[in-house]
Structure 1
Amino acid sequence: LAQAGERQFPPGHVLIAEGEIPEHVFVIISGRVRVIEAMPDAQTEVVLGELGPGEIVGELGILTERPRSATVVVLERTRCLALRRFHFLQALERSPALALGLAKLLARRLYDSDRRIARYAPDALTGLASRRAFLDLYRRIAASARRRKSGLFLVLLDVHHLNAINDRFGYAVGDDVLRAVADALMEATRATDLVARYGADEFVVLLQDAGSREGHLVTPRFGEKLSELVARRGLNVPIKCRVGTAYREVPPDSSDELLREADEDMRRRGVTLPA
């Protein structure tokens, strides 16, 4: 590592930019950085983790010979050793101990990633985001919306009398109903909207960059899509969904407030879809 040069970076500095061609590996001596991946469809970012002293940053792009897969931003003043691609690969070839240490580091990161994937795995029945994933993504989307001075519109939807459908027609039919509702929601919303299965018979939609007027257009569109899907799939089951909505120009940190307002709106209006 004799060819490595020491560098210092201030808070907010972009150490690595997603999509760039990798030229350096950085070994953190002191300080802390955050690893971020952009989500273009959702116009937000996902924090993949934070790294501190002793960690290596930027090795994957060089080892896989691919553009950077994430952005690394300095959180606090950080000192690093910067090693060029050629010298990094040369050091791995010459030092089995260094190569083994890197392999252990990558194995630990892979283990942590697998746990995160399991934690935020999609709902098995509908393929939508899970409740846990929604709660986590909401915080990030809300923070991004506040920075852009943009509001959020939330739709809470409840499949009416799902237990009665299960008792009368069987759980297989009940599952078909839930899939139809999920698919109708996906067809009625945009790629930038977050759609999740929030409970056994509850769904939630978070619309970004949508005012109250635009948000209220989603529910009738959903009703039309659901009627079409029910007819096309031959579901001879009476499906009704109760709907409540909430809107904030300045989104709160937690989704609890919007969910509570949408639930109160649902109970107050008693709107059912399809009409």
Structure 2
Amino acid sequence: MNSTKICNVINSISNEVWKELELAIEANESIEETYLTHLFWKRIYESRYIETIVTKKAGNKREENKTGADLEWWIIDKKDNVGLSLRIQAKKIDRNGKAYPQLKHRVSGKLQMDLLLDEATQDGMIPIYFFYNYFKDGNQGQGLEFAFAHKIRDAYQNDSKNYTKRKSIENYLLPVASLFCPSFNREKFVSLFGEASNIEELDNYFKRVFPAYIEEMQIQRKQKIKMRTFLRNKKGYVEIHNLTKPQYQQSSSILSFIKNIYFKRKLWHTYFSHINIVAYPENSPDVDAIIITLLD
């Protein structure tokens, strides 16, 4: 995979987030964090340049996630089959472009931040925050930023009254695109995580064995690709191709011909579309969506 292309895709998402928030403010409309999170993973799986598998928990409404995270993102290098796993909680800047008030959010009386950190540590994953931004004197490259959750907790412990303000945490923020531009360096990223968290033993964060739900997602996608190949090369192609033969058209009315074309192409579309989206596996962690990005 061309690292320049994934860098461009993430930058494009950052630009889009920035514009969405800008337009919402100008139109005096509200925009939900969940919408922007959906936009993020949708743009990832839609891109032809990023080999990605996505699964989403059913339903639009949800109870509070027990992991304290919205997303789980696996970034796996296909060359050595080693990956990193990120647990991500997303927060949107307020309309004034000054603060992230939802950093104070609690789940059953516990700070969501602590829940995110505790659950990620227990599962050997790297907890981070995504920040969706628009503010005056900023730029589109700041539309999508991240920070290690440990640094946000440091800000809370240093100043529990003002830690939600952007100026209190801006030194910890980095563009998400910086993970991939000019290329993804997992050793550097894990080293930065170690500095942020004061965790010295970092080898466990390089995943060489994947949980069953990650394996299942990859198997599901392989099965979809296999079906797609079969339909393209054999049965599906033959059936649709036959609809255009003169003898078929002669034996059918124009209306019947059109209906059959529509039906067959609809069936074709059902098999071929959204090849990167798979069913939500059982025993998955309690997050809204899981993303696997496979790097060459």
TM-score, length-scaled by structure 2:
0.23
- The structure, 1 or 2, with the larger RCO (C-alpha pairs under 8 Å, 6+ apart) is 2
More strand by share: 1
Query: TM-score normalised to the size of structure 1?
Result: 0.24
Larger proportion of helix = 2
- Greater C-alpha Rg: 1
